[in-house]
Amino acid sequence: MFNWKDRNVFVTGANGFLGSWLVSDLVKKGANVTCLIRDAVKNSNLESLGVSDRINAVYGTVEDYHIVERAMNEFETELCFHLAAQAIVGTANKSPISTFETNIKGTWNVLEACRQLGTKRAIVASSDKAYGEHEKLPYKEEFCLNGLTPYEASKSCTDILARTYAKTYGLSIAVTRCGNIYGGGDLSWSRIIPGTIRSVLNNERPIIRSDGTLVRDYIYIFDVVNAYITIAEQLDRKEVSGEAFNLGTKTPISVLELVKKITLLTQKKLEPKILNEAKNEIQVQYLDWTKAKRILGWEPKHNLDEGLKETLQWYRDFFSKHK
Angle at 108 between CA 73 and CA 291, to 5 degrees: 105
Residues 6+ apart with CB under 8 A from 256: 208, 212, 213, 272, 274
Residue 198: exposure state from Cβ atoms within 10 A (0-12, 13-18, ≥19): middle
Strand partners, 178: 247
- Is residue 151 part of the annotated active site? The answer reads yes
Contact by Cβ (8 Å): 224, 81: no
Residues 6+ apart with CB under 8 A from 228: 22, 81, 123, 176
In the set 131, 139, 151, 182, the catalytic residue is 151
Question: 32-37 and 121-125 as β-strands: parallel, antiparallel, unpaired?
Answer: unpaired
Count CB-CB contacts under 10 A for residue 40. Answer: 12
What is the H or E stretch that residue 74 is in?
helix 65-74
Residues 6+ apart with CB under 8 A from 245: 141, 174, 175, 176, 177, 227, 231, 289, 291, 292, 295, 296
Which residues are catalytically annotated? 151
